[in-house]
Amino acid sequence: MAIVSIQKNQVLFEAGQPVKELYMILSGSFSVSFPGGEYLLQSGDAPGICELYTGSHVATCKAAEDSSVFIYPFSGTISLEMLFKRSPEYCVVVTRSAFRQLNHLLRADELARLACSSMQIGFSKNHTLYQECCARNQIEPGVISTPEPFVGEDPLPVWAVSYYEGFQRLLSQGSTLLSKEPAVPAGLIASTDVDCKKVFASLSSLEEYQKQVLSLYLNDTREDALTMYADLYLRLDSNSSDAVFVYDFIKQIITMLQDSPLTDKALLDKRLSELSSVLHTAPGQAASTDTKTAETNVSLKDSLQTILAYSRRDTGFCVNFRELVTQYKNAADKTATDDAARALRQRITTGFYELYTSIFFRAINEDEIPMPVRMFLYFGYVDEELAGEANAEYLSRAVRLLDSNRREGVYTLYDWLKAVWEGKREPSRNEFDEDYSTHIRTLKATKQITPAEEAALLQDAQKKVEYELKNMFPTVNKMTFGRVSTFCPLYSEHNLLKRPDSSLVMPQTLKEILSNITSIDYGAYYREYVYTNPAAGMPQEFFHTEVLPDIILTPNVGTRGVMWQEIEGHKRTTSARMMLSVFFLEDLRQTLVRLTGEYRWEMCKRIQGPRWNDLSERSLTSEYFDYIQFYKKNHELSAETKEKLKTALQKARNSFKEMFVQDYLTYILYESSGSPRMTKTARTILFTHCPFSASVRETLKSNPTYKEMLERYHTLQTQQLHKFEMLERRVKNTGSELPAELSAERRFLEL
């Protein structure tokens, strides 16, 4: 046991060294680097505390300045207990440091998984664009490997993140109880180290995956994307639009490689030197681009002042909000979880929603809205420096892109609120599943308002928008952001884990993905309704109509999609509401498939009501509920399969809905292409209630796995069509023309 002085840049311990000592920083600071990142430790922290039980250090710890540390020999849990008994004041300090360091690792792991997903999606997208460009110019494309699909599984259960962050906050307030039972903090640290080991393993595998993808862009064999794209550029007409496109493409790849700490910089420099003759400025592009950027920067200069002035808020509010934005902009770690950082983000969040409300109600009545204000409404943008000047310039173009690419059923948040204002849509339910009309009637029932006030409020457009802004927007904005513990609604460059142009969600893209999903699960968004036409001999028939969901793009850079509500009010033929970040960092198609699965589940529950899990009434939810509830008694499942189901159910936190959504993802992404991955029971349930379209059934008819189900489906479809033909004959016998609804139903039955 000793106190040792450590000079700046001196290494305290290196990755790979055996763990023999426990350290406590008395003064100064240390940088801890590990696969995928680094963090800073200061006085009171315990470097290496997360590695005590790993056998050897996984991270490297180096002094960031002249420092001093307390060193205590470590030989197991007993030595840690002895330290805590001898010095009870260390109980809280060391335990808090362990939790703080694990939280750093968890955030690094989350960012690394997002980076992996982004790289895999980006490479596939880039290669598709390359092939399309080759096809347009009749050039034989080069052959290159593609990265393995990224499967980003959390190293710890979802609840663990909140658990450790909560523990860290509790210990920041001190706890004399821990010092009375030294075995408790020693045990907490031991369990923390077990989780740290899992996170370190995850970080190492994520880093390896990123290296594999980077090697496809640049490697010493020259069989890489950079070589292929440069070769394509040389073969194109230098004055063609494709040449400009490929040139920009190459520049983006080089920037990505330069920015990545995992790139072999020596190899990159060597390759860039060789390609210097290729990478000249595209003719006629530099001047126009520079001029355009300069003009944009002038219009965006001091954006926050423009936004605050437009809001017409009082001076006190504006001064306070500007100060908060400045503090946030200058923060060294915008995702810190200490009390001061959390309080700052909370104050910004409160002010942001007040500002958004004021600006919306002014903008809704004006035709000309300043560009920074439009960027605020669409993206949560407030400051060109916080966003990054290049990103700010892109946002101004993104506003125009979204305005020119509008599609029915896809809304920016501003457009959605405008639709509510104009009476085209009703406000969404709040987090307690209460819609606007129910809320108003509750106020009347509790005698908080009079019947006359109730009637007025039900027609009041401003109150409806205020309800949406207060009840839906704050909750959904945080949920779609994905990282709720570090949420801040301001558009900030540090949240951009991929280029904004590659993550902007375009309405046309959403429509194409939905079309692709319904080309597989044709009945996904069809609703049953009652059709009556006594004159045509149809007193009451049950027909189907397709009602595609409304998708609202929330103003943030996020990672989650949210299926907010399956219908509007109580009418079943109204659109569902799904929420996505306007800049989305994850796989968009996979997310929309997931949301469709959630919609399938919730819509079935809505139709079945209280008996949604009653097997006496056969339905999607009741059959799947029975399958998961009694899988241990299912004799068709092997012992290995049952063990896998048990693990999957634990991972899904015993949520039957989450289990179904995971199976639905597999069903659409893999089973539809003839790649069996589900249990026979699950496959049968999904095919019964979510049958594949005719084109998919045709491709699967030779696959023995689906033969029995397809034959059964064909028999049922034949019976339904025969019944329908009898109905058509009955209508013709009345002398009436076939109603359009009847023709639409036939098309549905033939899908």
pLDDT of residue 153: 74
pLDDT of residue 614: 94
Convert the pLDDT of each residue in 362-378 to its tens digit: 999 998 899 999 999 99
| Whole-number Å distance between alpha carbons of 304 and 321 | 9
Q: Say yes or no to pLDDT of 290 above 80.
A: no
| Whole-number Å distance between alpha carbons of 206 and 113 | 7
Interior/surface letters 337-346, b for 16+ CB within 10 angstroms, e for the rest: beeebeebbe
- How many Cβ atoms are within 10 Å of 28's Cβ, its own excluded? 19
Pair of tokens at residue 661? 């959504």
Q: What values do phi and psi take at 442, rounded to 5?
A: -65, -40
- 523: nearest Cα among 546, 550, 551, 549: 546
Q: What values do phi and psi take at 556, rounded to 5?
A: -155, 175
Pair of tokens at residue 643? 């063990």
Q: Are 307 and 371 in contact (CB under 8 A)?
A: no
| Whole-number Å distance between alpha carbons of 357 and 200 | 44
| Whole-number Å distance between alpha carbons of 645 and 384 | 49
- How many Cβ atoms are within 10 Å of 76's Cβ, its own excluded? 11
pLDDT of residue 176: 66
Q: Say yes or no to pLDDT of 287 above 50.
A: no
Task: Give the residues across from 542 on adjacent strands.
Answer: 530
pLDDT of residue 27: 93
CA trace torsion 151, 154, 157, 163 (10° rounding): -160
Q: Greater confidence, 143 or 599?
A: 599
| Whole-number Å distance between alpha carbons of 56 and 344 | 38
pLDDT of residue 1: 64
Q: Is the dihedral of CA 415, 421, 422, 425 positive or negative?
A: positive
Q: What percent of the chain has pLDDT over 70?
A: 96
Residue 52 pLDDT class (50, 70, 90 cuts): confident
| Whole-number Å distance between alpha carbons of 743 and 725 | 11
Q: Say yes or no to pLDDT of 277 above 70.
A: no
Q: Which residues contact 452 (CB under 8 A, 6 or more apart)?
A: none
CA trace torsion 589, 594, 596, 598 (10° rounding): -170
pLDDT of residue 175: 60
Q: Say yes or no to pLDDT of 314 above 90.
A: yes
Q: Say yes or no to pLDDT of 291 above 60.
A: no
pLDDT of residue 23: 92
In 371-523, beta strands by DSSP E: 410-412
Q: Are 67 and 27 in contact (CB under 8 A)?
A: yes
Q: Is the dihedral of CA 83, 87, 91, 96 positive or negative?
A: negative
* Overall average pLDDT of the 683-708 stretch: 94
Q: Is the dihedral of CA 131, 135, 137, 139 positive or negative?
A: positive
- 174: nearest Cα among 91, 103, 70: 91
Convert the pLDDT of each residue in 103-120 to its tens digit: 888 888 888 888 888 788
User: Which range (106-120, 150-164, 313-327) has the least confidence?
Assistant: 150-164
Residue 298 pLDDT class (50, 70, 90 cuts): very low
Q: What is the CA radius of gyration of the chain?
A: 30
pLDDT of residue 178: 72
- How many Cβ atoms are within 10 Å of 83's Cβ, its own excluded? 22
**Range from 238-252, 280-294, 611-625, 728-742 that averages highest in pLDDT:** 611-625
Q: Is the dihedral of CA 552, 557, 563, 564 positive or negative?
A: negative
Residue 93 pLDDT class (50, 70, 90 cuts): confident
- 116: nearest Cα among 153, 145, 155: 153
Q: Greater confidence, 129 or 315?
A: 315
Q: What values do phi and psi take at 526, rounded to 5?
A: -85, 140
* Overall average pLDDT of the 596-624 stretch: 95
pLDDT of residue 172: 66
Which helix (H) or strand (E) segment is 89 a member of? none
Convert the pLDDT of each residue in 15-32 to its tens digit: 999 988 889 999 999 999
**Range from 91-95, 627-631, 739-743 that averages highest in pLDDT:** 627-631
Residue 580 pLDDT class (50, 70, 90 cuts): very high
Task: Give the residues across from 37 on adjacent strands.
Answer: 34
Residue 713 pLDDT class (50, 70, 90 cuts): very high
Q: Greater confidence, 624 or 144?
A: 624
Which helix (H) or strand (E) segment is 558 a member of? strand 550-558
Task: Give the residues across from 236 on adjacent strands.
Answer: none
| Whole-number Å distance between alpha carbons of 554 and 224 | 37
Q: Are 88 and 179 in contact (CB under 8 A)?
A: yes
pLDDT of residue 236: 80
- How many Cβ atoms are within 10 Å of 291's Cβ, its own excluded? 10
Convert the pLDDT of each residue in 487-520 to its tens digit: 999 999 999 888 888 899 999 899 999 999 999 9
Q: How far apart are the first and last CA of the chain?
A: 77
Q: Say yes or no to pLDDT of 284 above 60.
A: no
Q: Greater confidence, 636 or 150?
A: 636
* Overall average pLDDT of the 740-747 stretch: 90
Could you tell me whether strands 538-546 and 526-533 are parallel, antiparallel, or unpaired per DSSP bridges? antiparallel
Q: Greater confidence, 168 or 389?
A: 389
Q: Say yes or no to pLDDT of 285 above 50.
A: no
| Whole-number Å distance between alpha carbons of 1 and 631 | 56
Which of the four CATH numbers 2.60.120.10, 3.90.550.10, 3.40.50.300, 2.40.110.10 does domain 2-115+160-209 have?
2.60.120.10
Give the start-to-end residue ranges of the domains of the chain: 2-115+160-209, 218-283, 294-490
Per DSSP, 638 falls in state -
pLDDT of residue 497: 81
| Whole-number Å distance between alpha carbons of 185 and 520 | 54
**pTM confidence score:** 0.71
Per DSSP, 42 falls in state E
* Overall average pLDDT of the 263-273 stretch: 86
- How many Cβ atoms are within 10 Å of 414's Cβ, its own excluded? 21
What are the Cα distances from residue 445, in Å, to 498, 543, 621? 50, 37, 34
The chain-wide mean pLDDT, for the chain, equals: 88
